[in-house]
Amino acid sequence: MKAMKLKCGTSRNQLKVSRLFSLLLIGLAACSPAKNNSTSDPSLDTGSVIEISHSVGLQIRDTPLFYNIQVFNPKDSTELIGSYVVSKSPGNFGEDTISGPVQSFGLSSTTFAAFFDRIGLLSAIKGMTYTDRVLNQTLKQRISEGQIVELTSAGELDFEKVLSVHPEVFMVYGFEDSDYARIADQGIHVVHNLEYLESTPLGRAEWIKLIGCFTGQLEEAIAVFQALEKRYMDISTKAMLSSFNPTVFTGSNYKGLWYAPGNDSYIANYIRDAGAVYSFQEFNEKGSIEIEYEAALKTITVADYWGMVVSQDGEYTIEDFQAAHENAELFKSYRDGNVFVCNAATSDYFGDAVMEPDVVLADLVKIIHPDYLPDHQSKYFFDLIPN
């Protein structure tokens, strides 16, 4: 999870059983990453271009001695957020160059850990926010052993803890303006990772290449990404062959408004890539959208499938669903038994899943087109009402 506080007046029950992706939807639509242009080195325009196939916010050039990296706002690819020069071998190249390979990181989001995990470098993480929400077992062990320090206090980033850990790089997600200068002034490089603003699942996963540059493992990162990209594309291609293209809706009702992902969001792209039609395809936003609930009902009550993410300790049952949705009988998806769910409290949807888009997609295809992947073992999404 990101280092942030939920500021809306939501009840405990609404927080615990949130509908599809409502844990993030309300905040992400309006967020704007804080700029941190760390260098204006002219060498950023030199070197061979590393192929970036899906990410909108990441550009990398490879030179004999350095990686030149530019991070843009994925919601506005003309907005430069940060520029970084990382050396391929240790050395003192000046304050605008990060000496690589970097050996220690602090992370402002638990999501970033998935990138390190896939290239076998969890040991490089020395501090992290919200360690109590980590589900990855290897990470949990390192936290319990004191090898990873909690960087939040009272739900907010604790600058003093970051300074005490003193990682070489503090990786941030730029959800809102923060006084990162306090960290940079102590010789810690602040680097933006904006994977969460990408509009496609593969675009998010491709940020592993950023971590590859900083750790000296770019070749490994590229290989990992290419393998999962192929699996993802193979699954999607198979799903697209189906003549059955059901409608799928997601979202959450809050104070008379229906909050849902826009049609250009990574969630909507998951649905399309699974061979389905997103119910709110006329809203071309990348973040979340707000629709009057009564107007949204005209669309969602006739949709074929209803998908959601909840966060509840233990098993989420059909009884839990019915208690939270007293009007469920109005929905065709419920009457047909086509409700699927991911419980983010028991499966690492906001962590490991970022680097397993192929697995998430396979889960969705198995639910929507069960004959296509009969041997797939679901990991994140499951039918709530077994047919």
Domain boundary assignment for the chain: 31-230, 242-383
3-state secondary structure of 72: strand
Residue ranges of the chain whose pLDDT lies below 70:
1-46, 175-178, 387
Strands (E) across 205-282 are located at 247-249, 252-254, 257-261, 277-278
- Whole-angstrom distance, CA of residue 309 vs CA of residue 118: 24
What pLDDT score was predicted for residue 26?
34
- Whole-angstrom distance, CA of residue 283 vs CA of residue 358: 26
3-state secondary structure of 249: strand
- Whole-angstrom distance, CA of residue 189 vs CA of residue 95: 9
Nearest to 152 by CA among 25, 26, 5: 5
Nearest to 128 by CA among 73, 99, 169, 92: 169
- Interior/surface letters 118-135, b for 16+ CB within 10 angstroms, e for the rest: bbebbebbbbbbbbeebb
- Alpha-carbon separation of residue 42 from 39, 45, 208 (angstroms): 9, 6, 25
Angle subtended at Cα 193 by Cα 124 and Cα 50, rounded to the nearest 5 degrees:
90
Q: So what CATH class is 31-230?
A: alpha beta
Residue 264: DSSP 8-state: T
What pLDDT score was predicted for residue 292?
96
pLDDT per residue as tens digits for the range 146-180: 999 999 998 889 999 999 999 999 999 874 556 78
What pLDDT score was predicted for residue 5?
33
What pLDDT score was predicted for residue 122?
97
- Fold designation for 242-383: Rossmann fold (3.40.50)
The phi and psi torsions of 13 (rounded to 5 degrees) equal -65, -40
What DSSP string runs through 332-350?
HHHHTT-EEEEETTTS-TT
Which tokens belong to 138?
Answer: 């290897």
- Whole-angstrom distance, CA of residue 200 vs CA of residue 206: 10
3-state secondary structure of 32: coil
Which tokens belong to 77?
Answer: 């690819």
Nearest to 171 by CA among 129, 229, 120: 129
What pLDDT score was predicted for residue 179?
76
- Whole-angstrom distance, CA of residue 364 vs CA of residue 201: 13
10 Å CB burial of residue 233 (0-12, 13-18, 19+) is middle
pLDDT per residue as tens digits for the range 304-313: 999 999 999 9
